[in-house]
Amino acid sequence: MSNYRLNLNQQSNGDYEVHENGCIYYPTQNYDDLGYYSACSSAVTAAKQKHPYKKINGCKTCSNPCHTS
């Protein structure tokens, strides 16, 4: 299980990205701590439930299976 965070800084394409602990882009400020999950898909689902009006995506680097754009 890994800790996941949602970066609350919007990307240039409009996405808000979910990052796994250990990622080079793991946010250290302006983030929402999503908690511990066994896969990025669960973390992305949790982020979407907590932030239904944000365009949530997985990080291409650390959560590639959940990266869609």
> In whole angstroms, what is the distance from residue 49 CA to residue 61 CA?
23
| pTM listed for this prediction | 0.94
CA distances from 58 to 12, 30, 68 (A): 15, 17, 7
Q: For the segment 11-67, what is each residue's pLDDT rounded down to a tens digit?
A: 999 999 999 999 999 999 999 999 999 999 999 999 999 999 999 999 999 999 999
